[in-house]
Amino acid sequence: MTPPRFGYHAAMRINVARGVRAASLSLLLLASACGGSGGGSTSGLGASGVESSKRLITLSDAEKGRLCDWMVAKAGSYGNPGTCDRTATGATFPLLTYDDQAACIEDAVDAPATSCQATVAQMEACVNLLPACATSTDLANTPACAVLSGC
């Protein structure tokens, strides 16, 4: 079984897969908080370059790709997780690591997940508080990421 990633489903996987595949990102995912991350810009773009007020379930694949690129850069790069140990399993697997952008986008939450109300700003705020090699344990212990639990 492939270890979980931090895509947008990261928080949900913590409850569903604790013991089998502890995790989710969602991310990552791709990585959220009650505070925003407008980057101080009046354009409304978050640090990822995606409109900070957009809900995660409404993002296009191109926007998910930008958010993935930003999240994965926190740990290293696609296929190269910096110092993160990708041989770890379960709750110690690093969530912000993906082999490529397509794998991250595939892990992203989409429109049918209506319980997900999180925005790009909330995802960015969550990811910003996580260590580079964040695990599902880090995600679960970061209150700012709680809003991702429905994602």
Q: State pLDDT tens for residues 31-78.
A: 332 233 333 444 688 899 999 999 999 999 999 999 999 999 988 889
Residue 133 maps to a domain: yes
- How many structural domains compose the chain? 1
pLDDT tens digits for 91-101?
888 888 899 99
pLDDT > 90: percent of the chain: 42
Helices (H) and strands (E) in the chain, counts: 5, 0
Average pLDDT, the chain: 75
Domain membership flag for residue 5: no
4 lies in some domain: no
Residue 101 maps to a domain:
yes
Q: What is the pLDDT of residue 29?
A: 37
Give yes or no for a contact between 63 and 50, defined as CB atoms under 8 angstroms apart.
yes
Q: 59-63, 81-85, 127-131: which has the minimum mean pLDDT?
A: 81-85
pLDDT value of position 8:
43
pLDDT of residue 81: 76
C-alpha distance from residue 75 to each of 128, 135, 137, 150 (Å): 11, 11, 16, 24
- Mean pLDDT comparison of 11-25, 71-85, 88-102, 133-147, highest-scoring range: 133-147
Please, what sign has the CA dihedral across residues 15, 19, 21, 26?
positive
Residues in the chain: 151
Question: Would 125 be classed as within a structural domain?
Answer: yes
Residue predicted with more confidence, 4 or 59: 59
Secondary structure (3-state) at 45 = strand
Look at 86 and 42; give whichever has higher pLDDT.
Answer: 86
Average pLDDT rounded to a whole number, residues 4-29: 35
List beta partners, residue 55: 119
Domain holding 81, by residue range, is: 10-150
- Rounded Cα–Cα distance for residues 122 and 128 (Å): 10
User: Which amino acid is residue 142, in one-letter code?
Assistant: T
- The pLDDT value given to residue 43: 66
Would 32 be classed as within a structural domain?
Answer: yes
Per the DSSP assignment, residues forming a β-bridge with 77 are 80
Q: Is residue 106 assigned to a domain?
A: yes
Domain assignment of residue 20, yes or no: yes
